[in-house]
Amino acid sequence: MADREPLTGYPELDDAERIARAEAFEASMRTRRTVRDVSDAPVPREVIESAIRTASRAPSGANMQPWSFVAVSDPEVKRRIRQAAEEEERAFYGGRAPQEWLEALAPFGTDAEKPFLETAPWLIAVFAQPHGFEPDGTKRKHYYVQESVGLATGFLLAALHQAGLATLTHTPSPMGFLREILGRPEHERPFLLVVTGVPAEGATVPRIDKKRLDEAASFITGDRD
């Protein structure tokens, strides 16, 4: 059994303070949008490092942390990623994607051209690790890999948003080129690519709605009217 230590980081708050904190975070996250118009303005590496440290605090199955992050600002590497991604995207839009999926994407005006992959100051490739290795080199199976990496990615997006950066999650399919371009080991699988930077001046986003609380959640409380 792992060693135990005292729990910290949970201050005593009254109900009003808890509600205020929850609603303040909600208000911040309500402004988070997927942004394709990203400025080429530089973003300090320290911001990206902090966001990745936050992502690494996400819960994971048996604390195996089956993820790795590769942050890219090198223009040549970004150019190679864009070229490879657009090749897959041209195949996707040119016949690989089912018509139903293309119809779902149509209102957003997306196509095979992905200039933001070069324009944005940072690309963060997220990789999943179905297994790791013991000190002696034997394989160690990881559990709940997709769930764990998804949680870490959510933490990453929230951290970048709190730093005032726009984000876009990009998932060209297949994504094997990411492992090759970034020199990742064979046991890692590309999960998605996070594009991040300062929104471009005059950037716009589609006018969309999100589910209302009564559509997204139900409450079973046992309360009586």
Per-residue pLDDT reduced to its tens digit, 201-216: 999 999 999 999 999 9
pTM value is: 0.94
Domain presence at residue 215:
no
What pLDDT does 181 receive? 97
What pLDDT does 31 receive? 96
CATH code of the domain in which 87 resides: 3.40.109.10
Q: What is the mean pLDDT of residues 93-119?
A: 91
What pLDDT does 107 receive? 87
Domain presence at residue 52:
yes
Domain presence at residue 211:
no
Query: How far is residue 151 from each of residues 56, 60, 108, measured CA to CA in Å?
Result: 10, 8, 26
What pLDDT does 200 receive? 97
N-term to C-term CA, the chain:
46
Helix axes 145-162, 45-55, angle to 10 degrees: 140
pLDDT at 225 over 90: no
Total of domains in the chain = 1
Residue 168 three-state SS = strand
What pLDDT does 137 receive? 87
* Order of strands, sheet of 67-72, starting from the edge strand that comes earlier in the sequence: 67-72, 122-128, 189-197, 166-170
Domain range spanning residue 134?
35-199
What pLDDT does 109 receive? 85
Domain presence at residue 207:
no
Percent of the chain with pLDDT over 90: 86
How do residues 124-177 score in pLDDT, each as one tens digit? 999 999 999 988 989 999 999 999 999 999 999 999 999 999 999 999 888 999
Domain presence at residue 225:
no
pLDDT at 114 over 60: yes
Domain presence at residue 164:
yes
Domain presence at residue 12:
no
3-state secondary structure string, 39-87? CCCCCCHHHHHHHHHHHCCCCCHHHCCCEEEEEECCHHHHHHHHHHHHH
- Residue 72 in contact with residue 81, Cβ under 8 Å? yes
How do residues 55-64 score in pLDDT, each as one tens digit? 999 999 999 9
Domain presence at residue 17:
no
